[in-house]
Amino acid sequence: MTTNKKRSLTGLKVTGNLHLGNYLGTLLPALELTKTYDCIYFIADLHSLTTQRDGNALATQTLDQVATWLALGLDTDKHTLFRQSDVTEVTEFAWYLSCVTGLGLLEKAHAYKDSLAKGLEINHGTFAYPVLMAADILMYEPDVVPVGKDQKQHIEFTRDMAGSLNALYGEILKLPEALIDERVMIIPGLDGQKMSKSYNNEVPLFCDEKTLRKKIMSIKTDSTGLEEPKTLKGSLVGDLYTYFGSVAQFDDLAGRLQKGGLGWGHAKEELFQVINEHIKEKRDRYNEFRKDEALLRNELKKGAEKAKALAHPTLNRVRHALGFR
Ligand code: AMP
């Protein structure tokens, strides 16, 4: 990691099996960024605790996530992949930031306000998570943090907190920039709503072929008769197809559906085929990596060492400025 490339940082929670929405919306863009940035990717297990109540699931899904990054081709020698909780100092740093963060700021957080509006039970972790997130970011001194338009607030809060500490103690923290992805792809799930574990409409990224087919065949379609013409563009099957099939494949299927005589069941089978074709090799690689827990744990160990080496200079500077000498 001693290149002069700019540094980019992203965290991904462990709150269930990764699905095609996570893959297209987060993992693929993150891998694309490895071409131009020094990337720091972390498994946000501490953040998951605001909702995750199953310790075994957290432990299993942490290794699932390591295997996923490796299967998708993340080069952990050139970049850094680590588990958030392996650098426990982040919670210490979060406390320092807490002490310069107004309640009013946290009350404006979208996630907190949404939970409040929905009448959900809110724990202190949910309320305080922007502080932990700021600590995650500031400790590793990234130049950019890639976010969707709707997540700009995270970076604004982080900059606010860093600004407060800098104003009080001198220029000790580096302010990151948001790297806004204007496209903000929202991948639809099996029922047409945003694909999400909370809607139970997700297609797991690395399930077996049989499950994948069953999931795809359960996509909601209208009841247009077999002989009648159907329009692929704008349909849920069509929307998902565009992410995996080529333009020529899409046009070919669209043409055959338009002629009539082809049912949605057939179109879904073709959708399954293109997704499976896209995923197949990656899934095989994932299964190989996932079997080798020693290798996965070794990756976490290696990542933790690299992450600590990046974090300690920042944290020592902060400790010194605050008076912990
Ligand atoms: P979540 O699993 O909801 O915590 O999301 C983890 C990451 O995956 C976030 O960065 C989301 O923006 C992304 N993501 C989740 N669901 C979708 C979706 N349906 N379409 C696009 N991106 C998604």
Q: Are residues 147 and 43 in the same domain?
A: yes
DSSP character for 140?
T
pLDDT tens column, 198-215: 899 999 999 999 999 999
CB atoms within 10 A of CB 77: 8
Residue 195 domain-assigned? no
State the pTM of this model.
0.95
Q: Are residues 300 and 255 in the same domain?
A: no
Instruction: Give the pLDDT of residue 279.
Output: 97
Residue 163 domain-assigned? yes
Domain holding 67, by residue range, is 6-187+293-322
Query: How many domains is the chain partitioned into structurally?
Result: 2
More confident residue, 319 or 16: 319
Query: How far away, in angstroms, is 25 Cα from ligand 1 center?
Result: 6
Residue 314 domain-assigned? yes
Please provide the distance, in angstroms rounded to a whole number, between the alpha carbons at the two ends of the chain: 29
Answer whether 221's CB lies under 8 Å from 264's CB.
yes
Q: Are residues 102 and 30 in the same domain?
A: yes
Residue to probe by mutation, ligand 1, list 19, 24, 26, 183, most atoms within 8 Å of CB: 26
Residue 47 domain-assigned? yes
The per-residue pLDDT of the chain, averaged, comes to 95
Q: What is the average per-residue pLDDT within 18-38? A: 95
Residue 200 domain-assigned? no
Q: Are residues 183 and 240 in the same domain?
A: no
Q: Are residues 263 and 297 in the same domain?
A: no
Task: Residue 23: give its domain's CATH number.
Answer: 3.40.50.620
Answer whether 285's CB lies under 8 Å from 295's CB.
no
144-148 β-sheet, strand order: 80-83, 38-44, 7-13, 144-148, 177-181
CB of 201 sitting under 6 A from ligand 1: no
pLDDT tens column, 147-199: 887 789 999 999 999 999 999 999 999 999 999 887 768 999 999 999 998 89
Q: Are residues 263 and 298 in the same domain?
A: no
CB of 318 sitting under 6 A from ligand 1: no
What is the residue with the minimal CA distance to atom 18 of ligand 1? Answer: 21
Q: Are residues 125 and 219 in the same domain?
A: no
pLDDT tens column, 244-281: 999 999 999 999 999 999 999 999 999 999 999 999 99
Q: Are residues 158 and 302 in the same domain?
A: yes
Query: How far away, in angstroms, is 298 Cα from ligand 1 center?
Result: 27
Q: How confident is the model at residue 2 (pLDDT cuts 50, 70, 90)?
A: low
Residue 204 pairs in a beta bridge with 19
Residue 253 domain-assigned? yes
Q: Are residues 219 and 170 in the same domain?
A: no
Q: Are residues 131 and 54 in the same domain?
A: yes
Q: Are residues 114 and 240 in the same domain?
A: no
CB atoms within 10 A of CB 246: 11
User: Which one, of 295, 315, 325, lies nearest residue 70 by Cα?
Assistant: 295
Q: Are residues 183 and 229 in the same domain?
A: no
Task: Residue 251: give its domain's CATH number.
Answer: 1.10.240.10
